[in-house]
Structure 1
Amino acid sequence: MDEAVGLDSTKFKADLEAIATLVQRVAQQHQGQSTELLAILRLLEQLHQEIRDSLFQESLPDNRQALYALLRDIETSGGWPYIHRMKLQAFLSYLSDQSAVESPAVESD
């Protein structure tokens, strides 16, 4: 029985690696295309929310010991997954920096 669990774990890790590789490849194919890259980020955020709000919540333990074990695993495995959003201020600052690079100040005589 432990062998079956080990095989499931190996297949699961391989599945995760395949997903990560596919997402990275698609993102690389669209390097420099902000609209397409934004679509990828939106899709990842949507998937995160769908999995969290349905499958994950449905799988939560129904007793204290199992819940404690899950919380301990979350803490030791890197914490709660979070999708960081670029703040509007940082985005505007980036645009300002880019425009300064593209059009340097003209010196007057």
Structure 2
Amino acid sequence: MDSQTQFDSQALLIQLQSLAEEVWTLAKTVEGNSLELLAVLRLLEQLHQDIRDSLFQQSLPDNRQQLYHLLREIESKGGWPYIPRNSLKSVMENWQRESPEVGLEEE
């Protein structure tokens, strides 16, 4: 890795860390408010999709050597970025598991 690429990566890392701290601080300010936390998560998911479907797709390598380098990077640094989405069913199952008395009141 040349020094310019390393410098650019370090600058990007600092920016990403700052951004992560801002998002975390925002989430902490609405802690306990599920609707506002949901809005934060939805925005993050939308940004992920937008970046992946436009900028990232356009930046994919067009030769084998660059593709090999990208795949090695993905493999060595933790795989493909993915934001899983909970289904309503799994949320309800977790909620009922944690609050078994809720179902008993309705009977």
> Same-fold call, TM > 0.5?
yes
User: Matches of 2:65 and 2:99 in 1, distance apart?
Assistant: 56
Q: Which has the larger radius of gyration?
A: 1
**Counterparts of 1:1-109 in structure 2 under 5 Å?**
2-97=2-97, 99-100=99-100
TM-score w.r.t. length of structure 1: 0.84
Higher relative contact order (CA 8 A, sep 6+): 2
User: Which deviates more, 30-39 or 86-95?
Assistant: 86-95
Alignment: residue pair count: 104
Query: 1:10: Cα distance to partner?
Result: 1.5
Change beyond 3 A, Cα 1:72–1:58: same
User: Matches of 1:105 and 1:56 in 2, distance apart?
Assistant: 50
Name stretches of at least 5 consecutive residues in structure 2 with no aligned partner: none
* Contact persistence 2:31–2:37 (CA under 8 A): yes
User: Matches of 2:48 and 2:3 in 1, distance apart?
Assistant: 30
Name stretches of at least 5 consecutive residues in structure 1 with no aligned partner: none
Aligned structure 1 segments of 4 or more residues deviating by more than 4 angstroms: 103-106
Residue deviations 1:18-62, cap 9 Å, x none?
A: 111011000111101000000000000000011001110111110
Change beyond 3 A, Cα 1:6–1:24: same
Query: RMSD of the TM alignment (CA)?
Result: 2.0
